[in-house]
């Protein structure tokens, strides 16, 4: 490829309202918080912005409300050069909102999230119909589960028919549609999502997630047509499950974890960029792990997403030898 990869994201916009506390309240209990702030996010918008900050040519399709949150949600994408000309604005409808409680201790940060979809659930198949003729011009399509299923299913089918790989990040966790799975090239659930979507347990021991459980989950997903199963495992990294075994990609440790809110979106965006830029799968996963590591060291969703230069600096700092940094020159 002699040009920057072109990536299409069809997904959500969500304004995150974030309260941090040292202790989550129990039922009927009130606790003092440490801080409060708002940050633009949404799984689709986060992934689009991460792809753009890493150098890809990105188009974003989704819906916002005609409110102040909607305006603020678009600003980071505009600044990063994302094509937002296909984002719909809904009159009289609120933009999506994410209510996040962040429990922060000396060494860890854990979140609890409630998403109010708002305008995200109003996107229609008719509004994405322009993609049927244009989708072949993209190198990858990114989807999540915060917009209507019929939109995801239709876009994925068009991409599959055009020979364009589809990456589905199946979050929030839900029962997946078998027809949608037939069109998926890369499925990237976390541990909980992988278990919920297959109805199979995923146990862990002192060595991490059980290999036989991972293999059974992947087999169930392969049987539905998914080509590549990549399961993110939090601090245990990620696992690529193949017929010939499981390949673990270690996480990249950061001394100070601040907010894990957008870590999964950062990982997925970076993986997509790495693959479309020509990196082999294992190296693209390492690139994604370094990218997500920077994200968890910062507060907020979109504000935490790193640039290509920052990721390259971390790769150098940690002495990564998997690929020559010149392999990413196409993204500059």
Instruction: Annotate 41-107 with DSSP letters as a single string.
Output: E-HHHHHHHHHHHTT-EEEEE-EEESSHHHHHHHHHHHHTT-B-TT-EEETT-PPEEEEEEEEE-SS
Report pLDDT digits (tens) over 272-293: 999 999 999 999 999 999 999 9
Global confidence as pTM: 0.92
Banded pLDDT at 329 (limits 50, 70, 90): confident
Mean pLDDT of the region 178-194: 95
Nearest to 239 by CA among 173, 289, 183, 296: 289
- In percent, the amount of the chain with pLDDT more than 70 equals 99
pLDDT the model gives residue 1: 58
Mean pLDDT of the region 55-77: 97
pLDDT the model gives residue 327: 79
Q: In CATH terms, is domain 6-12+43-94+121-331 a member of 3.30.1960.10?
A: no
Beta bridge partner(s), residue 245: 242
Looking at per-residue pLDDT, the higher value among 115 and 229 belongs to: 229
R_g over Cα of the chain:
19
Looking at per-residue pLDDT, the higher value among 252 and 110 belongs to: 252
Residues that are catalytic: 265
pLDDT of 159 > 80? The answer is yes
Q: If you average pLDDT over every residue of the chain, what do you get?
A: 92
In the 8-state DSSP scheme, what is residue 199? T
Domain ranges in the chain are: 6-12+43-94+121-331
Mean pLDDT of the region 39-62: 97
Mean pLDDT of the region 63-81: 96
pLDDT the model gives residue 204: 85
* Total number of residues shown for the chain: 332
Question: Largest Cα–Cα distance in the chain?
Answer: 59
């Amino acid at each position: 490829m002699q040009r920057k990869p072109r990536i299409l994201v069809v997904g959500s916009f969500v304004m995150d309202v974030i309260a941090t506390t040292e202790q989550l309240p129990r039922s009927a209990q009130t606790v003092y918080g440490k801080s409060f702030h708002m940050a633009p996010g949404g799984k689709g918008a986060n992934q689009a912005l991460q792809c753009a900050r890493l150098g890809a040519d990105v188009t974003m399709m989704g819906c916002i409300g005609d409110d102040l949150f909607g305006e603020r949600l678009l600003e980071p994408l505009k600044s990063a050069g994302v094509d937002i000309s296909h984002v719909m604005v809904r009159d009289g409808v609120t933009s999506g909102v994410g209510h996040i409680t962040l429990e922060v201790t000396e060494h860890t940060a854990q979140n609890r999230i409630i998403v109010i979809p708002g305008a995200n659930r109003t996107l229609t198949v008719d509004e994405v119909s322009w993609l049927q003729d244009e989708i072949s011009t993209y190198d990858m399509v990114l989807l999540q589960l915060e917009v209507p299923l019929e939109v995801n299913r239709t876009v994925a089918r068009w991409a599959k028919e055009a020979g364009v790989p589809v990456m589905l990040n199946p979050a929030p966790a839900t029962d997946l549609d078998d027809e949608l799975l037939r069109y998926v090239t890369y499925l990237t659930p976390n541990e909980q999502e992988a278990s919920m979507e297959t109805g199979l347990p995923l146990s862990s021991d002192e060595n991490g997630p059980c290999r036989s459980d991972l293999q059974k989950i992947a087999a169930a997903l392969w049987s539905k047509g998914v080509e590549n199963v990549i399961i993110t495992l939090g601090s245990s990294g990620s696992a690529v499950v193949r017929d010939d075994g499981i390949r673990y990609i270690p996480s990249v440790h950061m001394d100070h974890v601040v907010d894990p809110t957008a870590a999964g979106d950062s990982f997925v965006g970076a993986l997509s960029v790495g693959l479309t830029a020509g990196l082999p799968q294992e190296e693209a996963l390492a690139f994604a792990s370094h990218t997500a590591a920077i994200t968890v060291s910062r507060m907020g969703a979109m504000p935490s997403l790193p640039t290509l230069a920052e990721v390259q600096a971390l790769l150098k700092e940690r002495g990564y030898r998997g690929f020559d940094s010149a392999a990413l020159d196409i993204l500059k």
